[in-house]
Structure formats: C-alpha cells, structure tokens
Amino acid sequence: MAFLADALSRVKPSATIAVTQKARELKAKGRDVIGLGAGEPDFDTPDNIKNAAIEAIRRGETKYPPVSGIAPLREAIAKKFKRENNLDYKPEQTIVGTGGKQILFNAFMATLNPGDEVVIPTPYWVSYPEMVLLCGGTPTFAATTSANRFKLTAEALEKAITPKTKWLVLNSPSNPSGAAYTEAELRALADVLLKHPQVWVLTDDMYEHLTYGDFVFKTIAEVEPNLYDRTLTMNGVSKAYAMTGWRIGYAAGPIQLLKAMDMIQGQQTSGACTIAQWASVEALNGPQDFIATNKAIFQGRRDLVVSMLNQARGIVCPSPEGAFYVYPSCDALIGKKAPSGKVIANDEDFCAELLEAEGVAVVFGTAFGLGPNFRISYATSETLLEQACVRIQRFTASLS
Ligand SMILES: Cc1ncc(COP(=O)(O)O)c(C=O)c1O
C-alpha cells in the first residue's frame, strides 16, 4: 500500500516557487542575482492597517472567528462590491478565506465531481489546474494568443465548452500576462456563457486595483447581470493593500454555493485569522489613497520594463493593461546558442541560461501553459528592474 495519496501524483510543484528557491540558493552561494519571480508587491502594508490589527489584539479580538468571517468584514466586503463593482451582495453571500487561494480551492472542492471540467484560459496562474486536479476535476485549456493580447475570445471559449464543463475561470488582470478584459471583451464572453446555462464563472479579480492608463476595470457579473446567479466573484487584500502575508481573500456569490464553502471551511480551518480580518476591515473601509500612489509607481515600472525589453534582441514584449507582470516572447531566440554552449531549445532553457549567465531569475512561460515566453514580475525597485533589463539585453545580444 502506497503511503502517499494517489491525488499527489496528479499535481506538480509550483514553478514560480521553484524559481524563487533557485535564486535564493544562488544568492546564498554569493552570486549576484536579481529575482523577478515573486508575485507580491514590494511595498509594506500601510500603517493604518497595521494599527487596526494591533488595536484588535489589544481589544482581545483573539478568539476563533465565525467560519465565514467576522460580521464587520463581511459587511465591508458587501459595501466594497457595491461601491467599486456596482454588485449587490448581502453580507450572508460573502465568505472570507485564508487568502484568495483558499477561496478558490474551497469553491472547487465544493462543486467538482470526477469528470467535471473546468475551462482555464492559457497562460494561467499556476495554481488553477493543480487545484482542479486535487479536487478531482479535469482542467481543460483554452489558448489565447499574443495577437489577441492573451485574452480569451468568444470563439475559443465556445470551442472549449463541453456538456461536462462546470466552471470557466476568468482572471483579469491576469497573472502571468497582465492582460485585463474591457467591458466589450467581457460582453462577448458573457454572450457565449448565456448559451450554456450549466457553466458557472469563477472570476479572480485579485489584481482589480492594478490597472494602468485609462483602462476601466469591470467584472463579469456587473457586465451581464444574468450571470449573477452562477458567478463567484473572488478578490482579496493581498495585492491591492500589500497584505500578502496576512492571508485574507474573499468572495461573494449565490448563497447555496457560499453555504457549501462555509461547510468545508468549518471542517478545515474554522475560518481565517481573526486579527488579519480586523486589519482587512480597515483596508476596505479606511483611506484608499495608498492604491492610487502604488498604481502610479507600478505603471512607471511597467513602462520602463516594456520599453527596455523591446530593445533586447529577439524579445517581443506587449504592454499589458494591469497586474505587475509582463509576458514577453523569446520565440526568435529558440535554436540560438548560449555562452555556456547550450542550444536554447525552449523557454525553460532560455530562463535557465539567463539565470546562469547573468543572474536574472524569471519564470518560463510553459509553466503557465503558453510559450515560448517568460514572466517578469516588476514588483521591485526601478533601479533593480533597470539593471535586470540591461542584463537581459546583454544576454540576448550574446546568443549566437
Ligand atoms: C491570479 C491570482 N489569484 C489568486 C492569488 C492568491 O492570492 P492570495 O492567496 O494571496 O489571496 C494570486 C497570488 O499570487 C494570484 O496571482
């Protein structure tokens, strides 16, 4: 009898964590490494949010929370959805989890039976397919192209849906491509979904507040109210408020789904950390000017990285609408020889040789289901980003 569960053989470890780990090891050996693999803001959590947590501890808010979340946070979430997305959710239709990650996991756990399919557009955040597999479902993939700016088209969605499809996962702005859907693009997808009433939408709006220029963020239940009864709208405080370590995510949706997720959570964690929930009440209800300040900084970094990468030989880098990632193509460099003598056969080789030759850690695109590309996280200082891009330019110029 095997000791480890069969389910484990269906999943693979996270490539983003592997790159971060490799960069850490090289640094520990004394190499000069610039890590552009991590998916978290480099800013600190604002003081008003930290103070709310300290005050909560002082007040003795240190006991188990209600499973779905403390009442003030569920009210703040309902208010947030009304204020920012024009969506009417009652506090009972919301749930707070230990990060958005747990919300997604619980939603799949609560709904997937063997054989149920989940349509995931590529490139995707690495955890979606693995979560679906762990919950016994089958991920199916709908490819996007750089010509479509990495956005799912109505035709590709129509083709991907089968009678077994239970969910479509939408992630806008996207990790890893930074692509964000306009209202018209969501409208086109909604029109397809209206023809397939068995398909639910899990929309991961984690990067909602990180969009640039005049882009206007919309979420699908807002664009098509007829999808409200089969949409789980997920969001969180990790990226917008620089709170990745506090581990608070949330969602709102139909009560029947929320009750099922509550039941799972009750047997799993009993709810997210009470103190972090009080901090999140302040994040959602308190001053929001922090968001605009960060957005402006991220936009400057995006523009710098896109411009410098497009000056690197053989790299093509679209300028995405949001998040803090770019997803350039290295297609023109496949088949070239690196300084080590190795011929670059794919994006994984490209990233490994770049790390070896220049000490720049980025994540290969095939890990996100679409290559030959690579993902750069620009959630780091302009000085380091500039140095990293100079090194990438030098590396691509050195290929023969
Ligand atoms: C697209 C996307 N969704 C969800 C998450 C999970 O966020 P958290 O669990 O920190 O709330 C991440 C984190 O990297 C992400 O990139």
Residue showing tokens 């409200």: 228
Please tell me the residue having the least CA distance from ligand 1 atom 14.
Answer: 39
CB burial string 50-86: b at 16+ within 10 A, e below:
eebbeebeeeeeeeebbbbbbebbbbbbbebbeebbe
Residue showing tokens 């919300």: 103
Strands of 363-364's sheet, edge to edge? Answer: 325-326, 374-377, 363-364
Please tell me the residue having the least CA distance from ligand 1 atom 1.
Answer: 175
Going from the Cα of 346 to the center of ligand 1, the distance in angstroms, rounded, reads: 27
Identity at 145, one-letter amino acid code: T
Spatial contact of 97 and 250, defined as CB atoms under 8 Å apart: yes
The rounded distance, in Å, linking the Cα atoms of 138 and 397 is: 42
Residue 162 DSSP code: -
Please tell me the residue having the least CA distance from ligand 1 atom 16.
Answer: 175
Token pair for 138? 């089958």
Q: Which atom of ligand 1 is nearest to the CA of 39?
A: 14
Q: How far is CA 149 from the centre of its chain?
A: 17
CB burial string 159-196: b at 16+ within 10 A, e below:
ebbeeebbbbbbbbbbbbbbbbbbeebbebbbebbeee
The rounded distance, in Å, linking the Cα atoms of 124 and 177 is: 8
The rounded distance, in Å, linking the Cα atoms of 21 and 41 is: 18
Phi and psi at residue 374, to the nearest 5°: -145, 155
Q: Which atom of ligand 1 is nearest to the CA of 102?
A: 9
Going from the Cα of 397 to the center of ligand 1, the distance in angstroms, rounded, reads: 35
pLDDT tens sequence for the chain (400 residues): 889 988 888 888 777 788 888 888 899 999 999 999 888 899 999 999 999 999 999 999 999 999 999 999 999 999 999 999 999 999 999 999 999 999 999 999 999 999 999 999 999 999 999 999 999 999 999 999 999 999 999 999 999 999 999 999 999 999 999 999 999 999 999 999 999 999 999 999 999 999 999 999 999 999 999 999 999 999 999 999 999 999 999 999 999 999 999 999 999 999 999 999 999 999 999 999 999 999 999 999 999 999 999 999 999 999 999 999 999 999 999 999 999 999 999 999 999 999 999 999 999 999 999 999 999 999 999 999 999 999 999 999 999 9
Choice from 104, 106, 238 to test ligand 1 binding pocket (greatest atom count within 8 A of CB): 238
Going from the Cα of 169 to the center of ligand 1, the distance in angstroms, rounded, reads: 13
Q: Which atom of ligand 1 is nearest to the CA of 248?
A: 11
Q: At a CB cut-off of 8 Å and minimum separation 6, what does 71 contact?
A: 91
Give the SS3 label for residue 138.
strand
**What distance separates the 2 farthest-apart alpha carbons in the chain?**
65
Instruction: Name residues contacting ligand 1 (CB within 6 A).
Output: 39, 99-101, 125, 171, 175, 204, 206, 236, 238, 244, 249
Identity at 204, one-letter amino acid code: D
Q: Rounded to whole angstroms, what are the CA distances from 279 to 61, 111, 238, 326? A: 11, 30, 12, 30
Going from the Cα of 101 to the center of ligand 1, the distance in angstroms, rounded, reads: 6
Please tell me the residue having the least CA distance from ligand 1 atom 7.
Answer: 100
Going from the Cα of 340 to the center of ligand 1, the distance in angstroms, rounded, reads: 36
Helices then strands (H, E): number in the chain?
A: 13, 12
Q: Which atom of ligand 1 is nearest to the CA of 101?
A: 9
Dihedral angle at the C-alpha atoms of 34, 37, 39, 45, nearest 10 degrees?
A: -20
Dihedral angle at the C-alpha atoms of 198, 235, 71, 80, nearest 10 degrees?
A: -100
Q: In sequence order, what are the beta bridge partners of 233?
A: 203, 252
Going from the Cα of 17 to the center of ligand 1, the distance in angstroms, rounded, reads: 13
Give the SS3 label for residue 97.
strand
Going from the Cα of 335 to the center of ligand 1, the distance in angstroms, rounded, reads: 34
Going from the Cα of 206 to the center of ligand 1, the distance in angstroms, rounded, reads: 6
